[in-house]
């Protein structure tokens, strides 16, 4: 169908989104998403109830593809779905890993975002200096709402920020991203006390207790398991404690996904995207 290679996402039936319909069965819906003077090509196709989303950099001259249709800003906004936002982050991390990140014209990005932005996702991640989501997912200005706090723990204010990002800001995806070798997790495992930080660290105790099995050493491997368990706990807690986000996930308006970032390799490993009933 396309002369160019494209990434594809095969969804499980459970993950099928009940949100806006972008494609009729067997028909291709394609558009470009302009980012920093470069265009992305997003294709959504649906066959026999199975939807696939492809995202690819426009190096293959999509204008020559008969399926290509230039889109209005509203059309582009409508085409950013939980699935395509997920694909855009995955393809961004792939570029980050390969060293093929987009060369950005920052002054131009500032100009283009000066009247507002349409972020695709809200990412809760650690304050660790190695985990900036805009870099890890190779995104430009205006693309990501960042919520950053040590240990990527969930607070009421963080949850409110996610509600703001999704309900008012138009983000289509909530990502909770922990990381390996997390200093906050290590500190919690060591039981260190530090003025106000102690209260934050207590939020990791549940994950520590879940991973701990009768006197296990709280070594680096243990700490990475705690970080991963905490991501699962936070994903569950977001849906439990926010009616707004829970119903948006249920209706397929947004997706939610947990992820672990490796500070050793630069790779993001995602869990299952949850979107729809
Ligand atoms: Zn950390």
> Rounded to the nearest whole angstrom, what is the distance from the C-alpha of residue 184 to the centroid of ligand 1?
5
Q: Within 10 Å of residue 253's Cβ, how many Cβ atoms?
A: 20
> Rounded to the nearest whole angstrom, what is the distance from the C-alpha of residue 74 to the centroid of ligand 1?
37
pLDDT at residue 144 in the model:
94
Average pLDDT per 10 consecutive residues for the chain, totaling 277 residues: 31 30 37 44 50 48 45 61 90 92 81 83 98 94 94 98 96 97 97 96 96 80 96 98 98 97 98 93
- As a whole number of angstroms, the distance between CA 36 and CA 136 comes to 17
> Rounded to the nearest whole angstrom, what is the distance from the C-alpha of residue 87 to the centroid of ligand 1?
24
pLDDT at residue 107 in the model:
85
- As a whole number of angstroms, the distance between CA 137 and CA 176 comes to 13
> Rounded to the nearest whole angstrom, what is the distance from the C-alpha of residue 33 to the centroid of ligand 1?
32
> Rounded to the nearest whole angstrom, what is the distance from the C-alpha of residue 156 to the centroid of ligand 1?
19
> Rounded to the nearest whole angstrom, what is the distance from the C-alpha of residue 220 to the centroid of ligand 1?
13
- As a whole number of angstroms, the distance between CA 70 and CA 86 comes to 22
> Rounded to the nearest whole angstrom, what is the distance from the C-alpha of residue 179 to the centroid of ligand 1?
6
> Rounded to the nearest whole angstrom, what is the distance from the C-alpha of residue 241 to the centroid of ligand 1?
23
pLDDT at residue 180 in the model:
98
On whether the CB atoms of residues 138 and 102 are closer than 8 A, the answer is yes
Burial track 8-32 (b if 16+ CB lie within 10 A, e otherwise): ebebeeebbbebeebbeeeebbbbb
Q: Within 10 Å of residue 148's Cβ, how many Cβ atoms?
A: 16
pLDDT at residue 171 in the model:
95
Burial track 59-79 (b if 16+ CB lie within 10 A, e otherwise): eeebeebeebeebeeeebeeb
> Rounded to the nearest whole angstrom, what is the distance from the C-alpha of residue 213 to the centroid of ligand 1?
23
Listed residue (152, 127, 121, 157) closest to 232, CA to CA: 152
> How many CA atoms within 13 Å lie on the side-chain side of 93?
20
> Rounded to the nearest whole angstrom, what is the distance from the C-alpha of residue 207 to the centroid of ligand 1?
14
> Rounded to the nearest whole angstrom, what is the distance from the C-alpha of residue 30 to the centroid of ligand 1?
38
pLDDT at residue 35 in the model:
43
pLDDT at residue 131 in the model:
98
Task: For the chain, list the domains and their CATH numbers.
Answer: 9-93 (no CATH), 117-270 (3.40.1050.10)
The beta strands (E) that lie in the chain are given as: 9-10, 28-35, 38-47, 50-57, 121-125, 144-148, 173-179, 255-261, 268-270
On whether the CB atoms of residues 52 and 140 are closer than 8 A, the answer is no
pLDDT at residue 195 in the model:
97
């Amino acid at each position: 169908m396309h002369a160019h290679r494209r990434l594809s996402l095969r969804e499980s039936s459970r993950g099928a989104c009940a949100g806006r319909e972008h494609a009729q069965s067997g028909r291709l819906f394609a558009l470009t998403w302009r980012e920093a003077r470069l265009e992305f090509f997003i294709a959504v196709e649906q066959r026999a109830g199975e939807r696939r989303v492809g995202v690819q950099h426009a190096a293959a001259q999509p204008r020559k593809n008969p399926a290509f249709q230039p889109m209005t800003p509203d059309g582009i906004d409508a085409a950013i779905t939980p699935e395509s936002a997920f694909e855009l982050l995955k393809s961004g991390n792939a570029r980050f890993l390969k060293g093929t990140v987009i060369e950005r014209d920052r002054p131009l990005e500032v100009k283009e975002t000066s009247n507002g932005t349409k972020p695709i996702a809200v990412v809760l991640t650690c304050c660790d200096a190695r985990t900036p989501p805009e870099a890890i997912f190779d995104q430009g200005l205006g693309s990501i709402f960042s919520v950053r706090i040590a240990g990527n723990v969930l607070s009421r204010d963080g949850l409110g920020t996610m509600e703001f990002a999704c309900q008012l800001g138009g983000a289509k995806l909530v990502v909770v991203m922990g990381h390996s070798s997390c200093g906050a997790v290590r500190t919690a495992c060591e039981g260190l006390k530090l003025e106000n930080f102690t209260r934050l660290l207590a939020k990791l105790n549940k994950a520590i207790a879940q991973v701990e099995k009768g006197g296990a050493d709280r070594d680096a491997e243990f700490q990475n398991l705690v970080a991963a368990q905490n991501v699962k706990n936070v994903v569950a807690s977001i849906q439990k404690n926010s009616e707004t986000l829970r119903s948006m996930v249920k209706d397929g308006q947004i997706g939610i996904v947990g992820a672990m970032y490796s500070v050793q390799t630069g790779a993001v490993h995602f869990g299952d995207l949850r979107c729809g009933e």
